[in-house]
Structure 1
Amino acid sequence: MARSVEVTVEGKRRDLWADGLGRVGTRSAQILLVLTVVVVSVYALLQIRLLVIPVLIALILAAAIGPFVNLLRRRGMHGGVATGLAFVALLVVLAGVTTVIVASVRSQWGELVTQASSGLDELENFLLNGPFPLDREQLEQARTGIVEFATSSQVRSGAITGLSVVTEFLAGTGLMVVILFFFLKDGAKIWNFFLRPFTGAREAKLRRAGARTIQVLGDYVRGTAIVALVDTVAIGAALLILQVPLAIPLAIIVFLGAFVPLVGATVAGILAALVALVANGPVVALIVVAVVIAVNQLEGDLLQPVVMGKSLQLHALVILMALTAGTILAGIIGAVLSVPLAAVIWAVIQVWTAETPELEPMNPDLPPADTAKT
């Protein structure tokens, strides 16, 4: 009798987890466990972001200029020479962009300060005599508050924090340069090393996922660079024609901002409009705003669908959510990296869940699968 009751109780216990609510509870526990693993993993990566971010940037840059290295190798150039040539070319481009920005700012800084001063005087007159005039005493109080804040201990503490950020930036840049060189030189060997523990179908899927990752990252960076170049030429030409100060640095900022989808080029255009407002007046600023809007429409309706193709198969809402999460977790760098990483994650999911995935074209510089473990 006791045995029967035990079986019955055990049977009821099993039935309790077998009904609808039990299945929901089981699935909820699994989801909570997965979320816990994700949160812990993200937290751990953030603690070593000085390593993670350079690795990600180096991987993206290697995917973008990898085809150039492969082209040089197919033309008969030695692998080390081809890697060194592409590496030096990239460093020269980055150094040239930095030099142009610094030289342009230094040459036009005095003029901009003078025009900004007169523009601020006009703004003060507008606030005192405009349709909603302010009392001069209120304006003086606001100015005093700004000055006190600028000289406060919080700002000095922020300056110290900023110095720490600059130090981390320099260290991360140096680390990224070294990692990029080794990715370009030995990327295939590094990937084969990580694939050694896997065999059979799992190894094949991982190889397809790796090839798809490099393809998506390369297409994304090259396509975004082309779109950004068109934005830069159009907006930069408008700034030069309108004689807006710092036109060349602002155009370069537009180019860099275009690597943040949806909002980057727009924010850079707003910055250009603010400079035009201070230096050239409201009419020129409105013209700059009109040019920025026209260029953004051209980019969204024509350039991105044609140039980007299928490299970014993400809905605008997904892009916005990725941008928000990346910005919260890692600031500006997170905003730049979030969208290509989201595109890669989606592409890898598609490869991994496909029952009969198409074979990706093999990179001629990658060793075949049967030699990967040698």
Structure 2
Amino acid sequence: MSASPTFWPRERGLWLYHLGACAAVVGLTLLSGRAWGPISTSLLAATTVWPLPFTAALLLLRWLYLRRDAGALPIGRLVAWTLLACSLAGLAVAAAVQALVLPLTLRELPPGTAPGPLLLRWVVSGGLQAQLFLCAWAFVYIGIDTQRRARAAELVGLRLSHSLREAQLAQLASQLNPHFLFNALNNLRFVVHEDPPRADALVLALSRLLRHSLQGSRRDTLPLAEELEAVRDYLALMRVQLEERLRVDWQLAPGLEQAAVPPMLLQLLVENAIKHGLERLPGGGRLLIALHAEGGPLQIRVRNDCPAPQGPQPGGAPGLGLGLNNLRQRLLLLYGPRAQLEVQAGTGSFEVCVQLPLETA
């Protein structure tokens, strides 16, 4: 709510509702009075001027409601506050109406009639009627305001959730990016003086990787074709270090170039396969990169040769560290239960299978 609410509301719907309610009350009062006989001048005058103090009372109640932020009160206190305020306002409305039509009322009294008790009775009965209308109006207004507050709170919650999700993804991505940068620079220093043309090609590959990393940090997903290009650049850099020890088998189903994948997902799997598997084998090994859909979700499978485990491994598999844990969190944030990541560790092999919804980037 506003810290300084205005006394005069600007909501067009509020005024339409209020004027319609006043017209209905005036019309019903006159019809019911006519049903019992001729309408007196004082009754006609009271019914005609009644909307004026009634409107003033409603505007004051609304202003107090907003000023005190009564909508934030517990429901019990809010109901008690509304009933008390409407009771006092109802008596004030009835007293104001009788004061406005007092000359007409006194003129119509029978001779010798004491006006005091009669006026008090009219104020009390009119106050009860005004209280009823004020309570009906107030609770309708409170209901609408409560719905508006709930929608505003839900919108704030969604914005906070979205901001938190973006912050978490950015944090996870920032933990992944330095891996390939360190490896790429470490590989380049071996070749920059020995083979300048090849070093030039590797610098271009590294620049594409950096661009891929920068652009990917701004998107949740990107086309698989872009991710494959980054993986090929990464493998070109790693071949400087591993040479013939790195043997790559590709199994790529056609038609998946525009499939949406999280940035650096495949690059991370390939990096883990080399870092925790092939690099530890003196003779190197084979790396399998397979992508299929087959009419269902996108299946990404990366399998590598690795040393036989020496004793029990944390999590039941070697190499299940920060990178894969971060990847699990990214998939959970992006897809929820629709994505799966499974690890299979065998004797001399390690395989990671990722299943994603098949969507177009």
TM-score, with length taken from structure 2? 0.24
Q: Which has the larger radius of gyration?
A: 2
Q: Hey, which of these two has a bigger chunk of strand by percent? A: 2
TM-score, with length taken from structure 1? 0.23
Higher RCO, 1 or 2 (CA under 8 Å, sep at least 6)? 1
